[in-house]
Structure 1
Amino acid sequence: MIHFTPLIAGLTLVTSLVGQVEVTGRWTPQTRQNLLDQIAGNELATGIYSRVFDQLENEGVPPDFLERSFDHPDIVIDDEIIRRFERPAEKMPYKHYRKIFVKNRRITGGVTFYRENKALLDSVSSQFGVDPFLLVSLAGVESQYGLRAKTHPVFVALHTQIHKLPRREQWVEKEMAEFLSYCYENNVPPLSLGGSYAGAFGYGQFIPSSFRGYAVDFDGDGVRHPFEWPDVLASMANYLVMNGYAKGSVDFSEGSRNWKSVLRYNHALNYVKVVLELREAIISEEG
């Protein structure tokens, strides 16, 4: 049974005094300025964080939680993240891009993942009407079946963009607010959660707003886990269906509803092509 719980639950593997202590406090002009002085390193960041604080105040996140979270030695501006944005893999010629993903390790890894999780994949597919091999391929491209899901701290990824990438200003303002709300709601210390250089996290590599909007508690334990496969696979399937996937269809021709739903997962044509090519390779290898 699928549970769409209103609680976006935290990560059971994380423990911290930040998550154990009840934080209190109220927003005042002085607390807001103190937080800006603590976290914002330039004018761009001051403007973005100020608007982030507006959203957090509206959602009931107290400033004490932020003050404690921001007092962390690992908060840095990571120039490697900027370099990754300047050279996104999706901009490569496809013949080079596909070599990252459509290779023997990911194909055989996909077959192994499919066989080891067949009952779960069949259950998710039955509930959502999404092709199980598409879910396997997405898991392979997004996190190499869970092996490469944590390359950068999510907070640092977003914090770096806030300071260095004005072209992403609106996007990162929303995602930082969503991320800090998620952390507060679920007692997750913000610097404890690893993800991608862009700020996505979990085996399905959802950005914070997508996780809060589409994640599913598939196993019914009251927790929407970003790093447990029952919830991850169901959340991926739910995202695809909510973005137009035609239930029960395996039509992935360009421009089809299913093709467009994969494009919604990552707005790059190379990404759609490689997901679908890896899917076909896994099916062929599985026999």
Structure 2
Amino acid sequence: MFRKLAVLIFIILLGNAGVAFTDDSHSWDALKGRLVADGFNREYVDTVFSASSLEYDSAMMARKMRALLKRRFEPPAKKVAREKEFDERYIGPIMLAGGYSYLREHYGLLQEIDKQYGVAPSVLVALLLVETKLGFTLGEAPAFNNLANMAASPDPLKFFNELGYERLEEKDMVWLKKRTQKKADWAYKELSALLKFSSENSMVPTEIPGSPYGAFGICQFMPSTAVHYAVDGDGDGVIDLFTRDDALFSMASFLKRHGWKNSLSKKKKLKVIYRYNHSMVYARTIYEVARNLEKIRSTFGPD
């Protein structure tokens, strides 16, 4: 049902916002056909991909594969050194002062969320601090563009010259082809979720700013995460993860549904936080920021 409504909603919202109804590249054809085959309305798909801001650029996938190749060839000792305990940038006085100020300002709302979901205020503020500097760094490129470009680039030969390697051994090429296809399939899943989420919440999908890999909102949810865990925190009938209440409630919803309880041991808390971002350095950083914020709060309030 949402796909039928999405066509009308999208066209009305878009108005004259820089859309040229021509497809200037065949690079999108396979991707568009896949979306239609999976049930999205053809008119809606054509409208989305007609946005003037959308241009095919294989550099999106090249950037990701270049980083993965670099790690593949990294010496074991360097890999161990990279896995530090936690990111100390977020434990410094300036970052913690900003986090504590935010916690104080919104403590009533954070307590309300804690009562409903059982997630302490310090944990939500720690996540918000690390993810988007409390909502000040949201990403510049449209999330849709980034995901569409990755989904449309399953063949590494499209961008091999951009990787910085004159040649690779056969085993490395086999690995590269498999990883590129896997990442393209992942991007397609997230792209589909972004279309679903945006249509259900009256958003123009091509105008949602996001990270280089498609996370968006104050809470930096991936689209599939938003579809499954985002909630309408302020009760206005739509979910807008660029608003404070919806983002905070949605973060708490995610943690609770992954087993979070404030009484958990450190080890179990880290396992839940890891589900938010699959990095143990990240999980330990969130834990340390929350622990420090709680120490400050217990000393200076609010109670």
TM-score range relative to shorter protein: 0.7 to 0.9
Change (3 A) 1:85 1:252: farther
Task: State the match for 2:48 in structure 1.
Answer: 69
1:107 to 96, 116, 119: 96
Q: Using the TM superposition, name which of 201-210 and 275-284 deviates more.
A: 275-284
Question: TM-score, normalising length from structure 1?
Answer: 0.76
Which residue number in structure 1 is paired with residue 288 of structure 2? Answer: 277
* Corresponding residue for residue 13 of structure 2: 19
Tell me the residue number matched to 2:18. none
Does structure 1 residue 50 correspond to structure 2 residue 33? yes
Aligned-pair Cα RMSD in Å = 3.0
Structure 1 residue 120, shift from structure 2 partner = 0.4
After superposition, residues 168-179 of structure 1 pair within 5 angstroms as: 168-179=183-194
Q: 1:231 aligns to what?
A: 246
Quickly say closer, same or farther: Cα 1:205–1:40, change in 2 above 3 A: farther
Q: Residues 39, 180 of structure 1: CA spacing in aligned structure 2 closer, same or farther, 3 A cutoff?
A: farther
Secondary structure of the equivalent of 1:152?
coil
Aligned ranges 1:1-287 → 2 under 5 Å: 17-19=11-13, 41=27, 48-55=31-38, 57=39, 61-76=40-55, 77=57, 79=59, 82-83=62-63, 86-87=66-67, 93-95=82-84, 98-164=87-153, 165-246=180-261, 248-249=262-263, 251-254=264-267, 256=268, 258-286=269-297, 287=299
Name the counterpart of 2:176.
none
* Structure 1 outlier segments of 4+, above 6 Å: none
CA distance in 2, matches of 1:84, 1:144: 24
2-structure distance, mates of 1:184, 1:157: 18
Distance in 1 (CA, whole Å) between partners of 2:25 and 2:195 is 14
> How many positions carry a matched residue from both structures?
249
Quick one: structure 1 residues 137 and 151, their matched pair in 2 at CA, closer, same or farther if it must change by over 3 Å?
same
Could you tell me the percent identity over the aligned residues? Answer: 27
Structure 1, unaligned runs of 5 or more: 1-6, 8-14, 22-34
Q: By how many angstroms is 1:159 displaced?
A: 1.4
Answer yes or no: is the 8 Å Cα contact 1:154–1:196 preserved in 2: yes
**What is the distance in 2 between the residues matched to 1:179 and 1:39?**
22
Change (3 A) 1:152 1:134: same
Matched residue of 2:119: which SS? coil
Please state how far the C-alpha of 1:259 moved relative to its aligned partner.
2.1
CA distance in 1, matches of 2:131, 2:230: 16
1:38-76 superposed Cα distances (whole Å, 9 cap, x missing partner): 6652xxx66554333222x2xxx4222221221122213
Preserved CA contact (<8 Å) 2:30 2:152:
no
Q: C-alpha deviations, 1:124-178, integer Å up to 9, x for none?
A: 0011111211111001111111001133211111012113442313321211111
Amino acid at match of 2:227: R
Greater relative contact order (Cα < 8 A, sep 6+): 1
Q: What amino acid maps onto 1:284 in structure 2?
A: K
1:245 partner letter: W
CA distance in 1, matches of 2:33, 2:131: 32
Task: Please say if residues 10 and 44 of structure 2, whose CA atoms lie closer than 8 Å, have aligned partners that are also in contact.
Answer: no
Alpha-carbon distance in structure 1 between the residues aligned to 2:65 and 2:283: 19
CA shift digits 1:193-231 (9 cap, x unpaired): 001111111111111111111111122221222111112
Distance 1:40 1:51, change over 3 A: same
Distance, in Å, in 1 between the alignment partners of 2:296 and 2:42 is 53
